[in-house]
Structure 1
Amino acid sequence: MLFALPLPAFNPVLVEVGPFAIRWYAISYIVGLVGGWIYGKRLIANAALWTRQPGDPALFDDLLVWVTFGVILGGRLGQVLIYEPTYYFANPLEIVQIWHGGMAFHGGLIGAALAIVIFARRHGVPVLSYFDVASAVAPIGLFFGRLANFVNGELWGRPTDVPWAFLFPRSMDAAGEIVPRHPSQLYEAALEGLVLFLVLLVLTRIGGLKRPGLVAGVFGVGYGLARSISELFREPDGYVLGPITTGQALSLPLILAGLGLIWYALRRKDAAQPATPA
């Protein structure tokens, strides 16, 4: 067997009291949501970043609840319906046991987007501006979520002989052997999390939020490209056409939607104009 690093013996459970357990997977989602909430409120409260501030920053407190439910419901339904329908329909009780892992990003994205649209309509705030804020903070959750995937020893990479390859205990090949694999979860944490966060951070600081839809569009393109690149190293969940994986196919509509938002945001002649004094 080629040289490979053994996966550290992470205990997926942080605290366990009787039948109740708090898992690192759940903690990663909590940290991502809370971190996004804090950062999002600061973005909304910073008047210098906006042409028109999108409502009271306190509204973002309520939005957090809506987005949390959207991410959880959408992410789980995406995992069940897109990636593992056979398993979950055979084991329906597992569908609600989200602490065992199994959340599809694209499903969570749709759930969060629907939550934002409904929330914005109810409160009379600009939908695109809230999409922009949510997109700016989303890489925080992506970063911690991918780290949780690594801790859980799931969503591992393709077989490789690189010096930093890992042995994932549950990753057996067709011959039933555990072979060295790319730590693709860490690649995704870096690309979808850190790199994308920094790109959007710079964009918000140079006036991106003054053009509604621009930050959300760059997020869509950036995530789609980052995920598509990561899929080259990640063990595919399936193939759609030839070498195109399921993850890459699902990322294509996101890239196209992102390009559409960027085009719309940049062509609006009134987007960057200062607000008319009352």
Structure 2
Amino acid sequence: MNPTLHAARLGVSRGWIEFKQQLASAQDMGFTVVSTAAFVVVLYFQRDATLPGTGLSLAAATLPGLVGLMIPLNGLMGAVGSLSVEREDGTLLRAKAVPQGMVGYLVGRIVMLSITTIGSVVVMLAAGLFFVPGLLGIGAGGWLTLAWIALLGLLSSLPLGAIIGSLAKSPQSAAGLAMLAVGALTSISGVFYPITALAGWLQAVAHAFPLYWLGLGMRSALMPDAAAAAEIGGSWRPVETTLVLLAWAVAGLLLAPPILRRMARRESGSAMEERRHRAMQRVT
């Protein structure tokens, strides 16, 4: 059997096992549970409001943005957090010693975080059935579009999180970089408001990153066709959305393993112990 494929299969099994272990840990599930609950509360308070000048429910307009944001928030932040912490506790050092161990490690992270994120999205959509009028009416095409865009969103954000986590010097700097990246992209990507309200150069920047296209794809799946009039060109641009997200996913999946391997080559027991010593000095 091809060693890389064998490592990937082991990574799938590892990801499933780690997901089950995560369910038993309140600390590990804390961020996911709190963020998902916060988004559901937002929908609850918007359930009876409508967008000014339209008959569209405010909750219906907000739900695609919340789902679109949840994917990179949980996926990217989860990958950054896991990788930076596991550099400190020796997990990556052990993976480095196994043939194709970094491939198996990356696949395991993607599987575990994907299942966790999909669970959060399902909870959000279940809440939407109660708080968003007409959500059941999006039809099979809408649900298929949502699933396809969610998959591409995960594949474009998880490897990016692994790259950020591998380049950061410490868990604290990794979390800061990830929050800065998500916050900056959210502010310019039109997730919760029409991107046409922004300056032209900011629109161009937003188009280069996956979060704008992820939000656009979710709106195309969950909102009425008439809502496309508020988008650039009056269209959901499904082909462009798929191509951009697919390009980010392919680039991330190609770049993440060699970057992880390069980072792992520099890992050693002495380097890990030195980082622990510096961390203890900061605490004391």
Q: Same fold (TM over 0.5)?
A: no
Relative to the length of structure 2, the TM-score reads 0.34
- Which gives a bigger RCO, structure 1 or 2 (Cα 8 Å, sep 6+)? 2
Relative to the length of structure 1, the TM-score reads 0.34
